[in-house]
Amino acid sequence: MTWQHKLKRFLSGGGGSQDLSVARSLIFINLILFTLMALHGTVQGLEMRAIMNPPTQLLIHWGAQFWPFVFNQGEWWRCITYAFTHGGLIHLAFNMVVLYMVGPRLEFEIGKAPFIVLYVFTALTGTLAGLLWHPMTPVVGASGALFGLIGFSVAYYHRIGTSIAIQMRNFFFQWAVFAFIFGLFIGADNAGHLGGAVGGVILGFLMPVSFPGQRRIAPALKGLATVCVVLVALSLGGLVLSWF
């Protein structure tokens, strides 16, 4: 099997499906961006530090959220690109493992379009919380959006109300509490985590749980998902253009 076939199989989730998995595509984008950042840092003489503990300047160059640049230099795209930039290999690995575990299941549960909207929306609510709490601190990582997925799951499964759904709700709630407490010990961006989780809970209570309700709002969600995809593409494009 060639690497092209292996990549296609990964992005489609395997099993012979021809549709791209949104969650796996997000993982792929994160991996590519981190690899390019690490190569850039290595060329700059940072060597292993570029991989394990990139300096702040390198992170900002590769899309970290930094509100002074958003307001003073119009770099609005940082509100999205920060969620694809990571502060080291361990940071990246932890977030991608969580996305790999949670993302495909939730994507299958609610559909691709709602998943796209959920991920992008909670990435935004996560960074807005950071603006309120620490506007002068550079921020990177997908964890705001990941907490958004978890917050959504807590609210969504709670509303479904079946015994299995309640078990899922409790699992995600316990995981969120553990991750939040762990974040306090390692100095993580818990403001962003909380902002993402709140955004997820809001969407979890707004999302219809019945099939007829989901079908009614499907066209609107597809439109919003298209807007979100364009926003991500423009943000990554804005990052690249900022280098010239």
Burial of 141 (0-12, 13-18, 19+ CB in 10 A): buried
Q: What CA–CA distance (Å, rounded) separates 136 from 41?
A: 23
Tokens representing residue 184 in the block? 């306090």
pLDDT of residue 83: 98
Q: Is residue 111 part of a domain?
A: yes
Q: Is residue 2 part of a domain?
A: no
Q: Is residue 172 part of a domain?
A: yes
Q: Is residue 5 part of a domain?
A: no
pLDDT tens digits along 106-119: 999 999 999 999 99
Q: What CA–CA distance (Å, rounded) separates 75 from 69?
A: 6
Q: Is residue 39 part of a domain?
A: yes
Q: What CA–CA distance (Å, rounded) separates 99 from 117?
A: 15
Given CA atoms 58, 65, 119, 87 in this order, what sign does their dihedral have?
Answer: positive
Please determine, for residue 104, whether its predicted confidence score (pLDDT) is greater than 70: yes
Instruction: For residue 10, give the amino acid letter.
Output: F
Please determine, for residue 139, whether its predicted confidence score (pLDDT) is greater than 60: yes
pLDDT tens digits along 145-185: 999 999 999 999 999 999 999 999 999 999 999 998 988 88
- pTM value is 0.93
Burial of 220 (0-12, 13-18, 19+ CB in 10 A): exposed
Q: Which CATH number belongs to the domain containing residue 209 in this structure?
A: 1.20.1540.10
Catalytic residues: 143, 193
Q: What CA–CA distance (Å, rounded) separates 170 from 172?
A: 6
Query: What is the domain range of residue 199?
Result: 15-241
Q: How many domains does the chain have?
A: 1
User: 144 near 189, Cβ under 8 Å?
Assistant: yes
Length of the chain: 244
Q: Is residue 8 part of a domain?
A: no
Band (pLDDT 50/70/90 cuts) for residue 187 is confident
Q: Is residue 201 part of a domain?
A: yes
Q: Is residue 202 part of a domain?
A: yes
